[in-house]
Amino acid sequence: MISEALLHCTGIGPVRLAQLHEAGVRSWSDVVGCGEQLPVRYAAPLIEESRRCLNALETRDIRYFVDRFSPFDKWRIVAEFLDEMSFFDIETMGLEHNSPITVIACWHRGEVKTFVEHENLDDFLHLLDDVTLLASFNGSSFDVPRVLDTFHIPDLPCPHLDLRWPCYHKGYKGSLKSITARLGFTRPVDLQDADGELAIHLWNRWTLDQDHRARELLVRYCASDVVLLAMLAHRLAERSIESPAAWWGQLPSTSLAEPPCKGPPAPSPLTRNAFGEGSPSKLRARRIRTA
């Protein structure tokens, strides 16, 4: 399926793609195999790019496809590499583009991982080193820039795919919440009315009032978005979703027997994190972001 992505090749648009299909040329292997039969005016660059794509597929060079594919074909990346994808989402202290991150959730290797400011937020960088392909919804405009600014890094260590645009070109338009609702994917009852504004309110209740239930609900809400992302990716890849309840079972629990601490913990100088043994906040502040 991924080998039928040709729209990113020089000289190939919808009309010429249709002409190639009529001639029985649908994949990179087809292009390479019948090179002499292709029109001279665009044969050379098409053959060269098809060979590069075949090599990238053989070496599992996902970044090559993420960087080059036409928006119309990026859903093919999801279909090919779904089992290697991780999905992430963030919550912030406000709705402004520069609001600090409060929570990060990531569906990674079939499990939901959560990271909270003042606790273990910097550990997300360590997780990124183990990610093959990171996916988000509208993350190119919001989540990724906030991560780069927060951790003072020039770029992610792994390729990133914004699922908003593959969804758009497959006919799924709107927000993550509206798209997944139309597809029949619904959050647990306690999260069905949650949104970004509530997430800000919950963070304030946690940090100002030491409301542990607010913290739990905030983390669950962020985690629910990555479960929805994983489900959405399965739909894009035309794969079935077995036992949705088991997926939702990955969410953090809301039934704490005892509060984990008396309030939002201050960063410990002995905390183990992505920067080694040291205060996450201090080490993060020392990092110099390079262009």
Domain ranges of the chain: 2-59, 79-284
The model's pTM: 0.85
Question: Does residue 233 register a pLDDT over 90?
Answer: yes
What is the CATH number assigned to the segment(s) 2-59? 1.10.150
CA–CA–CA angle 157, 162, 167 (5° rounding):
155
Q: Are the C-beta atoms of 47 and 35 separated by less than 8 Å?
A: yes
Question: Does residue 272 register a pLDDT over 60?
Answer: no
pLDDT, position 276: 40
Confidence grade of residue 63 (pLDDT, cut at 50, 70, 90):
very high
3.40.50.300, 1.10.240.10, 3.30.420.10, 2.60.120.560: CATH of 79-284:
3.30.420.10
β-bridge partners, 136: 162
Question: Looking at per-residue confidence, does 65 or 243 come out higher?
Answer: 65
What is d(CA 139, CA 256) in angstroms, rounded to the nearest whole number? 31
Q: Which of 75-79, 205-209, 246-250 has the lowest mean pLDDT?
A: 246-250
Give the mean model confidence (pLDDT) for residues 180-195: 85
pLDDT, position 40: 84
Question: Does residue 121 register a pLDDT over 70?
Answer: yes
Q: Give the tens place of pLDDT for each residue, 211-220.
A: 999 999 999 9
Q: Give the tens place of pLDDT for each residue, 138-147.
A: 999 999 999 9
pLDDT, position 61: 98
What is d(CA 130, CA 109) in angstroms, rounded to the nearest whole number? 10
